Structure 1
Amino acid sequence: MTRSSTWRAALLATATCLLPAAAGAQQGSALPLQQTTCSLGGMMQELRGALKTGSPAYRRYALEQLKMAAKAMPPEELLAAVEQEREPDVLEALGKALASKASFAEDPTLVQPLLQRAQGDADPNLRAAAVKGLRATGSVDLMAKNGNVVTYEQLIRDTSPAVREAVVGNLLDENAKVYFGHDKAVSETAVNTALASSDPELAAKLLREVSMEQVGSETVRKLTGQLRAENPTLRAASATALGGVPGPESAGATGSLVELYRNEKDPAVRKAALEGLVRLGMSGARPTLQSLRGVAPAMDPEIDAWLSALNLNLQEWSLLLREKQRIRK
């Protein structure tokens, strides 16, 4: 352990907590704070009270206090608490503290009890809580370092909608808030998880909202295959996803989206294909769009709106999309 990490651990281990004088402090109350030792038992008691009756600020404080104190806590006590907890909200909070400790200690094996509960607990609410405990962490990497014994591709098949929704929420948060769309493993896991799902709406949400800027050729091939999916929502989401693939994959993706537009009957899918084509080519998409006029006359106003937006020579996709939406209200 370095001198810096030793100092941080000592500081955390000797920290004291400032807590409201009554555990059930209500929102807007002005109860004085009292100083107490940051034992796990004490923090758990305060956390339960905060989650049940505390103000939003107090709940956030109790949750953050547990996460911070867990970094210096001997792991055995925290692991035992994760294995024994029966309240979903508290298990989620413990899971976040455990995941934070695993990252801080660079010991991914610490999350094994959480992964086991996410997959095997008899109570679906506790399974969902265990999944949520991994939110906003590098959970895909943690799972890989634990041998992929439990994966999101497995968890998305859970019989409980709450668990499946928690999986999607985790991947969206990890993509947007942990890696800001720049992690290949997270993006490819999202695609594989979507393909493993029996719920087309959840699968489509993953494909639409996770960045595809780092995915490899095999994942692009999988997305292209989904353009032939039976469900139109899934076809549209796959078209949207193909619009965000890396430059080296853009030529093949463009050809696939042109073919989709020419053969598709669903207007929403055709609309998504046009969006994907514009995102891939930006100003270079003009000739392709013009070649598609008349294929489906009812869609020509959509093509014209894109052409008008492209004439503004905007260089950022978000600005171009916003302008097109303004034109085509």
Structure 2
Amino acid sequence: MLHAHRSPTWRVALLAAAAWLLPAPAGAQDKLPIERVTCSFGNMLEDLRAGLKTGSPAYRKYLLQHLKEAARSMPPDELRAAVEQERDPAVLEALGAALATHAGFTEDPSVLQPLLKRASQDADPAARAAAVRGLRGTGSVETLSKNGHTVSYEQLIRDPSPEVREAVVGNLVQEDATVYSGHDRTVSETAVNTALASPDPEVAAKLLREVSMEQVGSETVRKLTGQLKSESPTLRAASASALGGVPGSESAGATSSLVELYRNEKDPAVRKAALQGIARLGLSGALPTLSSLRGVAPALDPEIAAWETVLRRGLQEWTLVLREKERIRK
């Protein structure tokens, strides 16, 4: 790899492009000597540090991807040492992602121990959050399990720092959506357990609303049903929405619980979430149940009518049903 003397790679690339487009002035090589240097991890880290501070979004993306690709075959000792010593949160996150990539490629989750230690024990909350985000987009739930649950998302969600808790939620939501497309039972059930371990109802509610429940088992459905009696209306509403996405084998019990919630609840937002859950569980088969709830809360009868209108159209894709219902209620 060619570098301008004592210059980062991106500057060399820019100068090289300019030199290709324009004739080189006389004596230019004397003014800007080019030397061949070893493309070492230290050079890569130096470029990463500079690029994350001053580079364009495209260049930063390139640097991060380049480091992750290089990490697959890189001996892990330098990476582990860098993770242990790094103080810049942005660089730590990038190093953590590289180490997680190496762990996945080599199927050796034990190399992540320094990153997990930073995530759970570092005195700086920004560093803890960065270490957690380093696991994002990987099979982190399985990785944490293979590390003997020495660190867990249920533990990290109780961190006093909102940034760390936000990082935990982001990891689980992204892993569910992009790594497993909502089809992994362990990830979904970990998200529920993590939500229930959270002391912050808003954080718990975000997890329950945004992680797929299509593969969860009976025990997790029972936990969700129990949260319908939470003191937090936000958590009751999120639990009702989550119950709407449980497997068909659990739909009868979930529907019964949501009907009971609708009849006894006083908060309009929670009642709306219960109606949505009922509609999602049954689609067109939910019409009789929805009709039976007319008059329980007269102010919400128009909401029931909107669901009935949409469900009679026979749409089978939930995203289309939800979009159409929202259009009707605007």
Same fold (TM over 0.5): yes
Q: C-alpha separation between the residues in 1 aligned to 2:106 and 2:321? A: 44
Deviation of 1:38 (Å): 3.2
Deviation of 1:75 (Å): 1.1
Question: Residue 76 of structure 2 corresponds to which residue in structure 1?
Answer: 75
Deviation of 1:163 (Å): 0.5
Write the letter of the residue equivalent to 1:172. Answer: V
Segments of 5+ residues of structure 1 without an aligned counterpart are: 1-15
Match among 23, 37, 54 for residue 8 of structure 2: 23
Maintained 8 Å contact 2:3/2:9: no
**1:1-329, aligned counterparts within 5 Å?**
22-23=7-8, 25=10, 30-32=14-16, 37-329=38-330
Q: C-alpha separation between the residues in 1 aligned to 2:5 and 2:311? A: 57
Q: C-alpha separation between the residues in 1 aligned to 2:252 and 2:236? A: 19
Q: Summarize the Cα distance change of 1:240–1:21 in structure 2 as closer, same or farther, 3 Å threshold.
A: farther
1:252-304: CA deviations, max 9, x gaps?
Answer: 00000000000000000000000000000010000000000001000000000
Q: C-alpha separation between the residues in 2 aligned to 1:142 and 1:191? A: 18
- The structure number with the bigger radius of gyration is 2
Deviation of 1:72 (Å): 1.2
Maintained 8 Å contact 1:20/1:31: no
Maintained 8 Å contact 1:25/1:55: no
Write the letter of the residue equivalent to 1:268. Answer: A
1:145-201: CA deviations, max 9, x gaps?
Answer: 000110000000001111010000000010001001000110000000100001111
Question: Residue 5 of structure 1 corresponds to which residue in structure 2?
Answer: none
Maintained 8 Å contact 1:24/1:54: no
Q: C-alpha separation between the residues in 1 aligned to 2:285 and 2:321? A: 13
SS of 1:144's equivalent in the other structure is helix
Q: C-alpha separation between the residues in 2 aligned to 1:153 and 1:24? A: 41
Q: Summarize the Cα distance change of 1:319–1:19 in structure 2 as closer, same or farther, 3 Å threshold.
A: farther
Q: C-alpha separation between the residues in 2 aligned to 1:154 and 1:126? A: 16
Aligned length: 312
Q: C-alpha separation between the residues in 2 aligned to 1:78 and 1:253? A: 47
TM norm structure 2: 0.91
SS of 2:69's equivalent in the other structure is helix
Q: Give % identity.
A: 71
Write the letter of the residue equivalent to 1:23. Answer: P
Segments of 5+ residues of structure 2 without an aligned counterpart are: 18-33
Write the letter of the residue equivalent to 1:196. Answer: A
Write the letter of the residue equivalent to 1:73. Answer: M
Let me know the Cα RMSD of the aligned residues.
Answer: 1.8
SS of 1:158's equivalent in the other structure is coil
Q: C-alpha separation between the residues in 2 aligned to 1:80 and 1:30? A: 32
Write the letter of the residue equivalent to 2:276. Answer: E
Maintained 8 Å contact 2:208/2:238: yes
Q: C-alpha separation between the residues in 2 aligned to 1:279 and 1:133? A: 35
TM norm structure 1: 0.91
Question: Residue 29 of structure 2 corresponds to which residue in structure 1?
Answer: none
SS of 1:314's equivalent in the other structure is coil
